[in-house]
Each structure stands twice: as structure tokens, then as C-alpha cells.
Amino acid sequence: MTDWKAAFTTTFGAPASAVSAGIWADVYGDEYPAELDTYSFVTRTDLRDIVAGARLEPGGRLADIGCGRGGPGLWVAARTYATLTGVDIAETALASARRRAEAMDVEATDFQIGSFSDTGLEDASFDAVMSVDALLFAPDKRRACEEFARILAPGGRLLVTTWDFDGQPENRPPQVPDHRPLLEAAGFDVHSYEETADWRARQRRTGELSLERVAELAAESGADPAKLRASIELTLRNQDLMTRRVLIVASRP
Ligand SMILES: C[S@@+](CC[C@H](N)C(=O)[O-])C[C@H]1O[C@@H](n2cnc3c(N)ncnc32)[C@H](O)[C@@H]1O
């Protein structure tokens, strides 16, 4: 199994890929939030849905777990006038997120090391917790749901995009067929569990274009083209085990 902390630390230690950004723009068109340097399948519609579902008041406290380079959380914080705490396992991602916060002129931000099982955040200290396309990497999804519940204040809102799986993908942490039982066991009321638009075709097309442009991607990052090809092919095979990409809206009573 890949050491994900090491892998993401390397990924985010390099500049965002211009070739990948071009592929995402081709596939997602206006839905691709190019200015945020995302490392995910997040769309502008997802981001707007997260803002609506979070119900944050100005000055509200938002956490983004698995924040990567910080773009999605900063976008939501900027629109809701919330304070933002981003958490990730990769210090290189956090360094990039801090620079982005300055560039986007979003004040009252904090980016710190932590994981889904141990965020390092205080009990009941957030009005909303979001996580974009990262829960897939949590080794223990039940523990992650309990951690979301622990850090949310009563009435706090949870907004997550992630995938349900029918089977265990290769070289990935254990997956689940449905996140709702785990969320309910952790004490959440699940308000909505909606498939995101056209997710399968878009992800497949992104993978296919990445294969077509694998030489450019490898040249850009200095990766071995054969290893990069194998990794894209594995991602495509694993996508066949995904049954849905969902945007989850839940709250803690
Ligand atoms: C696909 S990226 C998504 C990043 C960001 N949310 C975005 O939309 O651009 C997955 C993120 O999850 C982080 N991650 C992986 N395993 C994690 C864990 N166990 N706990 C917290 N974050 C983790 C990675 O470092 C990476 O930033």
C-alpha cells in the first residue's frame, strides 16, 4: 500500500500541473474552478452547494479536512465570511494553502497538520466541516465520521464529497458501499446524499485524456512515463468500482 503522506507531500511539493489543468478545463469547461488549483473533481456547482449547505453566518467557524492546496475551503470561507482551519497530512499542501490564503486575501485562516482520525482540533469548535474528494484516503471511515462529529458544535453542518464503492480498489484504503450508516452511527442526521452531475463520464474522460498526454505529464513532473501510465490505468480500473460520487449534507443535533 502506498504511503499516502509521502505521496501527497511529493505531489504538493511540486507546482500544480499545467497539463492536468488543461485536461480538467477541457472536460469540465466552465465547471472547472481553474483559479483554485484544486487536486480533485470538485466543480463550481459542488462549491456553491457546499456554501448553501454550510449555512455559515459571517464569522462562523469552518474546517476543511484533507484541504490540499486550500482552494475549496478558501473559496467557501471567502463567500461566507467564515474563519477557516484547513487540515491535511501533507505539510507541502499546507504551505501552498497559506500562500493561497494571502493571494486570495482571506484573513483568519489557519492550516495545520492532522488526519481524518486525529485532526488535532478542539471538541465542538466548528459550525461547519467540509471535505472535498479526500475521505477516500481515510484508512478508517467510521473513525473519520466520529472525528467530524467530535469537532462540530451542536447544530453544526457537515459537507463532504466522496465515493461509494462496490468492492475494494487496488492499492487504496478500505472503502464502504454507503457512508450513511457510519454517519448515523456517529450521531449525524443525513439531510441529503446526492450523486453529483455526470461524475462517471467526466472522471473517465479525465483519465483517458491523461493517458493520451502521459508523455507531457511525465516530462512536466519528471516522473517515469511507464510508472505514470500504470498509475493512471490503476485509477481508471478503480473508478469502475465506484458506484456513485456523492455530495453529503448532514448535521450534528
Ligand atoms: C484528492 S486530494 C483533495 C485535496 C483538496 N480537497 C482539493 O479538493 O483540492 C486528497 C487530499 O487528502 C489528503 N489526505 C490523504 N490522506 C489523508 C488523511 N488520512 N487525513 C487527512 N488528509 C488526508 C491529501 O494530502 C490530499 O490533500
pLDDT at position 94 over 80: yes
User: Is the sign of the CA dihedral 18, 23, 25, 28 positive or negative?
Assistant: negative
Specify the pLDDT at position 55.
98
Distance CA 240, CA 168 (A): 11
In this prediction, residue 1 has a pLDDT band, given cuts at 50, 70 and 90, of confident
131, 143 Cβ separation under 8 angstroms: no
Specify the pLDDT at position 13.
96
In this prediction, residue 253 has a pLDDT band, given cuts at 50, 70 and 90, of very high
Specify the pLDDT at position 209.
98
Query: Residue range 222-236: average pLDDT?
Result: 95
Q: Which residues contact 177 (CB under 8 A, 6 or more apart)?
A: 164, 165, 166, 243
Specify the pLDDT at position 107.
87
pLDDT at position 86 over 90: yes
Q: For residue 165, give the 3-state DSSP assignment.
A: strand
pLDDT tens-digit map of 24-53: 999 999 999 999 999 999 999 999 999 999
Q: Which residues contact 42 (CB under 8 A, 6 or more apart)?
A: 33, 72, 132, 133, 161
Kindly list the protein residues whose Cβ atom lies closer than 6 A to any atom of ligand 1. 4, 8, 38-40, 42, 65-68, 71-72, 88-90, 93, 115-116, 132-134, 137-138
Mutate which of 67, 111, 143, 163 for ligand 1 pocket (most atoms within 8 A of beta carbon): 67
- Which ligand 1 atom sits closest to the C-alpha of 68? 27
Distance CA 146, CA 121 (A): 13
Q: Which domains does the chain have, with CATH numbers?
A: 4-15+46-198+243-251 (3.40.50.150)
Rounded to the nearest angstrom, the distance between the alpha carbon of 2 and the centre of ligand 1 is 14
Cα distances from 35 to residues 41, 58, 68, 89, 236, in angstroms, run 14, 24, 14, 23, 26
Rounded to the nearest angstrom, the distance between the alpha carbon of 66 and the centre of ligand 1 is 4
Query: Residue range 101-122: average pLDDT?
Result: 96
Rounded to the nearest angstrom, the distance between the alpha carbon of 90 and the centre of ligand 1 is 8
108, 62 Cβ separation under 8 angstroms: no
C-alpha cell recorded at residue 17: 500541473
Rounded to the nearest angstrom, the distance between the alpha carbon of 67 and the centre of ligand 1 is 6
Q: For residue 129, give the 3-state DSSP assignment.
A: strand
pLDDT tens-digit map of 147-188: 999 999 999 999 999 999 999 999 999 999 999 999 999 999
Specify the pLDDT at position 30.
97
Mutate which of 91, 137, 159, 160 for ligand 1 pocket (most atoms within 8 A of beta carbon): 137
Specify the pLDDT at position 118.
98
Query: Residue range 189-203: average pLDDT?
Result: 98
